[in-house]
Structures are given as structure tokens and as C-alpha cells.
Amino acid sequence: MSSTTQSVTRRTLLASAAVVGALAVLPLPTAMAAGGGEAIHPFKFKATEAQLEDLRRRIKATRFPEREIVDDNSQGVQSATIEKLAKYWAKEYDWRKVEARLNALPQFTTKIDGVDIHFIHVKSKHDGALPIIVTHGWPGSVIEQMKIIGPLTDPTAHGGSASDAFDVVIPSIPGYGFSGKPTEKGWDPIRIAHGWIELMKRLGYTRYVAQGGDWGDAVTEQMALIAPPELLGIHVNMPATIPDNIAIALQPGGKKPDGLSADESHAYDQLADFYAHGLGYAIEMANRPQTLVGIADSPVGLAAWMIDHDIRSYDLIARVFDGKPEGLSRDDILDNVTLYWLTNTAVSSARLYWENKLAFFQPKNVKIPVAVSVFPDEIYAAPKTWTEKAYPNLIYFNKLDKGGHFAAWEQTKVFCDELRAAFKSVRA
């Protein structure tokens, strides 16, 4: 591959990178030094009534554009969808419900490398539970993973056995949600991975696994490359598997390679469509995140920006506001958007795209055990052939019939079943 081709390939992949029961509460005092590191503090969040009233006022004052001049979503978020979202958000949505669910969970903060890291930590009542750290992506947050906590920590109440139990740690990426916002350059997926390793050390875990999709995949794979001895294996639901010849073919003017299998051909078509029509948000956040002042000022603008992630995710979200929920509800969507609004993290979260220098979908030569679940409506459904080459120590691979980019959120049971199956071999 020529240096020019490598440079072009890297730029495109960087842009796509920018695309991607009973609960036992961990007993910690008000401020406890864990593992010899910084103190760990309990955390709760309560929005003020003034904040919520300001949110409703801004929603009602939205100046909507004229209706799109096409009958489909080819021009972006359709007027009917965003107007229905805004009407429900202003008049019926209740943030206090999700706030109460969040505050019922054991949440903490600890300072790592100069930034306050927020995390949920729920321990299983079952002996021998396997610790797992789960990382969200953009436009996600810990809201995405709240549904998996019960099934993973209390499997006997959710169709599993005690031997399937996990202790669950769900941190907020720096600049996202309740974590602190970095004030210096350098908080990329590699630095975050080091932070997560330190977090698990502070929590006293001597063996654990990690999981992620979207940015969570990037962070989780970097943890695997650092390969601390405590990390037994990883599971990803948006793997990095694109071979070099496919990456080159996806460049402008490239040609689909001959001889692809049915799965490979389908993955190529999904990627080609995404590169051609779905990368706008990622390119802007990677190049000029601070320009996005509008989404920090307009809640409806923020919602439109967040729900237009990839076309299959958009279709799933849009149908929710048309009265056809499946997996997600209107409240699910607005819980997540409202979290971004109340924490003013629209722009600070976008800066992760600017920081990132990794080619998101390029194989990283991860050598520790890797498990992969492929959901059909992901940005691309990774073929087994590509996955086996990308991960030489592939211990589990499964292709699902339903689910997309936000698998833990929208297909919770299937996702939890996948984690149980994926890590069976590393529990011994």
C-alpha cells in the first residue's frame, strides 16, 4: 500500500472511528481510599427545578425549520419526528423517574489522572461473580447499560444460573455524563483504557473482563492491548475487523472487490452506505467540535443531532415517536438526551472524536481472548471470516437475528445471554 493510500485510508477510518432482581450494594464509606489510590466517593445527582423548567422553556421556544422537501429521511431527521419528540419532551416527559432509578444504584466518583470519573458499581449476591467493566459510546451514556445490571448481577431472577453472575462496573467516559470534563489534551481511547485499568485496580479486582461497543469497543480493545494480567478477556459488539483491501476499496472511487462471500458482501454494502451517507456528524466532531455551540444551546437541536447517528438506529428511534416502540421507548431516548442536556456535555463528549487518532475499524492485533456478538443492524455486521483474522484468540462468535448499534439498551435479554455465553470459558 502506498503512503498516500495509507494516509487516505487512515483519514477515512478515523472519521468512521469517530462514528461508532435484588442488587447487592457495594459498601463504601463516604470517602474510602481503595487499593492505595485516590478516594472513592458516593455520588447522587438531582437536577434543580430551575434546570428542568429552563429545559421545558427552551423546548417550547424552538424555532423549527420548514418541512423537508422530500418524502423520506434522505435530508436528515424528519420534521414530523422531531416535532413529536419535542411535544412529548415538553409536556409529558418526567426526568425524575430515571433520576430516581439512577440514584437507587450505587454510584461513585474517583479522581483518575486528574479527572473525576463517575461510575456505577453493583456487586452480585452470588459468590464467585465475575467482575465486568462495561463502556458506553456516543451518543450513549450509562443510561444505555442500566437495563443490563439486574440480569447480570442477579441471573437467577432473569433466566440464568448463579454461575452466570457478574459484578458490574459502568463508568462514564471523561467528558460524558457525570464524569469530569478534561481541561487538557490527550484524553483519547488509550488514556481512557489506562484509566479503566486503574479503576478496576482501585476496586480491588484481581481478575475481570471488559465489554464495549462504539467508543466502548475502542477503549476495551486498548485495554486488551495493554493486557494487564487481571484482564481475562473482552467482549465487543462493534468489532474492528475491516481488512486492508476492503478499507482501500471503500475510498472514494474504489470498487467493491470480487469474490466476497454473502456475509462479506453485505458488510461491504453496509459500510459503503455509511461512509457515503452516515459520517457527517463524526467528521464535524472530529474536525471542529467546538463549533457545535448550537447543540449546547438548543435541547431540540441536541436531540436531532444525537438521534441521527446511523440510518438503522435512526429508523428505530423515529418509529418510537410514531407509536411503534420495540426495545426502546420514548422515555429511553429522552432519558439519554436529557442527561446530556443537564450535564452540558454535548460539546465535551464530541471532543473525544477530535482526540482520537485510531482507525476505528482497523484490526488492532489483540492477542488476549476475544468474544464477538454481531447484531444485524449495527453499522456493519462483521463477517466471521474477517473476525477470525482480526482476533487470533477468538473464543466466541455469534450472529444474532435482531438488534443494532445500541444492543444492550434495545435487546437487553439477548445481550445479557451473549455475555453469559461469551465468558463461560474464562470463568474457570
Point out the residues that are catalytic: 214, 353, 405
List b or e across 29-61, with b for residues whose CB sees 16 or more CB atoms inside 10 angstroms. eeeeebeeebbbbebeeebeeeebeebeebbee
Torsion of CA 383, 387, 388, 389, to 10 degrees: 110
**DSSP one-letter string for 54-65:** HHHHHHHT--PP
d(CA 406, CA 213): 8
With contact defined as beta carbons under 8 Å apart, do 223 and 234 qualify? yes
Residue 166: strand pairing partners: 130
Rounded to the nearest 10 degrees, the angle between the axes of helix 346-355 and helix 330-343 is 80
Question: Distances in Å between the alpha carbon of 71 and those of 74, 278, 319, 329?
Answer: 8, 19, 15, 25
Q: Are residues 299 and 337 in contact, defined by beta-carbon separation less than 8 angstroms?
A: yes
152 Cβ contact partners less than 8 Å away, ≥ 6 residues apart: 124, 132, 165, 166, 168, 416, 419
Q: Which of 204, 170, 127, 211 is nearest to 420 (CA)?
A: 211
Using alpha carbons only, what angle is made at residue 124 by residues 122 and 129, rounded to the nearest 5 degrees?
Answer: 115
